């Protein structure tokens, strides 16, 4: 909101469609994922900074499940990549703050768990 642009993972591609929960899912029973239930979904694959997915960068994918009220009762956000993953919300906040201030070197020096 600070710049009027997406703050992270700005380069990406999206799609929309439907997800149907299979008749015999290979995961424990869950009220939300009832076998046979179908959801409209939006999917987004993105990179943190690079324009090429072959770059050493954080990769992200998110799936938004929409219910009959056009609400989003479940969003699944996943991140991976060959570089270190930020392990918690505080480290994500600190990384964004360091990137905004241009002080990324100190962020890495002060973050031994990276």
pLDDT digits (tens, 9 = 90+) for 12-71: 788 999 999 998 888 888 888 889 989 899 998 887 766 666 665 677 888 998 877 777
* Burial classification of residue 46, based on how many CB atoms lie within 10 Å of its CB (0-12 exposed, 13-18 middle, 19 or more buried): buried
**Domain limits, the chain:** 1-83, 84-114
Strand pairing partners for 18? 40
Whole-number pLDDT of residue 84: 54
What are the angstrom distances between the C-alpha of 54 and each of 78, 80, 81, 87?
Answer: 18, 13, 10, 22
Give the residue-averaged pLDDT of 91-105: 78
The answer to whether the CB of 92 falls within 8 A of the CB of 114 is no
pTM over 0.75: no
């Amino acid at each position: 909101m600070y710049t009027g642009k997406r703050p992270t993972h700005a380069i990406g591609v999206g799609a929309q469609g439907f997800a149907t929960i299979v008749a015999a899912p290979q995961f424990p029973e869950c009220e939300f994922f009832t076998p046979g239930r179908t959801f409209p979904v939006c999917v987004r694959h993105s990179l943190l900074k690079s324009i090429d997915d072959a770059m050493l960068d954080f990769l992200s994918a998110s799936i938004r499940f929409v219910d009959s009220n056009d609400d989003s009762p479940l969003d699944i956000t996943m991140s991976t990549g060959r570089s270190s993953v930020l392990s918690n919300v505080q480290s994500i906040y600190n990384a964004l703050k360091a990137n905004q201030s241009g002080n990324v070197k100190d962020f890495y020096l002060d973050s031994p768990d990276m």
